[in-house]
């Protein structure tokens, strides 16, 4: 795992209790050295974070009126949350990876369900299209009806219906995958990981493909085609 740095295994730990050492909020929050009492109270919750201390920091942030104290507590909360959920052994790292995969699978199921709803919407439109088509043919001469009869064909709906079957089967499998995967998670604090945890905490090689890059595509974020949009230096000019 990393939070703009690698933390698992390489992170400094207290050999006695196997808990990661805090980086120290005071090193991050550079404010005038005054009224330190509140900092000591907040730092104590960061050095040995627990579920209770995280909730206490949340409450402090919600209720504190002083902007400086609230800002200090917000940074402290981020650090405390980071260390509280950081894996401390191989088993926990594996389970944390599985939690990430579970979240991705849940997103995948959501996307598939959206496609199911979209397919049903298309079928509803096709049903109206067919109904209107029948009315049109009945209102025309035999010659004109013969000319227009293929303007609508039931083939249009067959592909959508087949797609619904595919999506339904895929969703059923993914839901069973989720059911079995969740049984593997035994680390209690990973059973209710914050919803946004993986938005700012990443595995070191997450997003890195083991496959060769497209040689015709720029490797930076612009995705320009090098054969069409490269500059006189032979690259996209983004670097």
CB 20 within 8 A of CB 83: yes
* The model's pTM: 0.68
- Worst-scoring range by mean pLDDT, 33-37, 63-67, 146-150, 227-231? 227-231
Query: What local confidence, expressed as pLDDT, does residue 16 receive?
Result: 45
Between the two ends of the chain, the Cα-to-Cα distance in Å is: 27
Domain range list for the chain: 13-85, 90-200, 209-239
Residue 229 has pLDDT above 70, yes or no: no
Dihedral-angle region of residue 9 (phi above 0 means left; psi in -120 to 50 means alpha; beta otherwise): left
Mean pLDDT to the nearest integer, 54-80: 92
Q: In sequence order, what are the residues at sequence separation of 6 or more whose Cβ sits closer than 8 angstroms to the Cβ of residue 239? A: 220
């Amino acid at each position: 795992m990393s939070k703009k740095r690698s933390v698992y295994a390489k992170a400094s730990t207290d050999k006695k209790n196997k808990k990661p050492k805090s980086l120290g909020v005071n090193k991050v929050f550079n404010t005038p050295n005054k009224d330190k009492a509140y900092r000591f109270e907040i730092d104590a919750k960061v050095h040995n974070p627990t579920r209770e201390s995280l909730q206490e920091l949340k409450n402090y942030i919600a209720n504190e009126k002083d902007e400086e104290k609230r800002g200090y507590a917000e940074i402290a909360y981020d650090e405390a949350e980071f260390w509280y959920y950081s894996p401390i052994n191989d088993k926990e790292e594996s389970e944390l990876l599985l939690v990430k995969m579970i979240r991705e699978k849940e997103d995948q199921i959501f996307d598939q369900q959206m496609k199911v709803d979209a397919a049903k919407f298309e079928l509803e439109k096709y049903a109206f299209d067919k109904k209107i088509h029948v009315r049109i043919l009945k209102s025309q001469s035999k010659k004109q009806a013969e000319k227009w009869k293929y303007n609508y064909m039931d083939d249009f709906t067959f592909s959508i219906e087949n797609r619904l079957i595919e999506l339904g089967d895929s969703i059923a499998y993914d839901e069973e995958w989720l059911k079995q995967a969740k049984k593997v998670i035994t680390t209690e604090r990973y059973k209710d990981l914050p919803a946004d945890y993986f938005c700012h905490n990443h595995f070191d090689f997450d997003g890195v493909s083991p496959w060769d890059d497209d040689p015709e595509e720029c490797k930076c974020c612009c995705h320009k085609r090098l054969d069409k949009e490269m500059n006189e230096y032979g690259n996209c000019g983004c670097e």
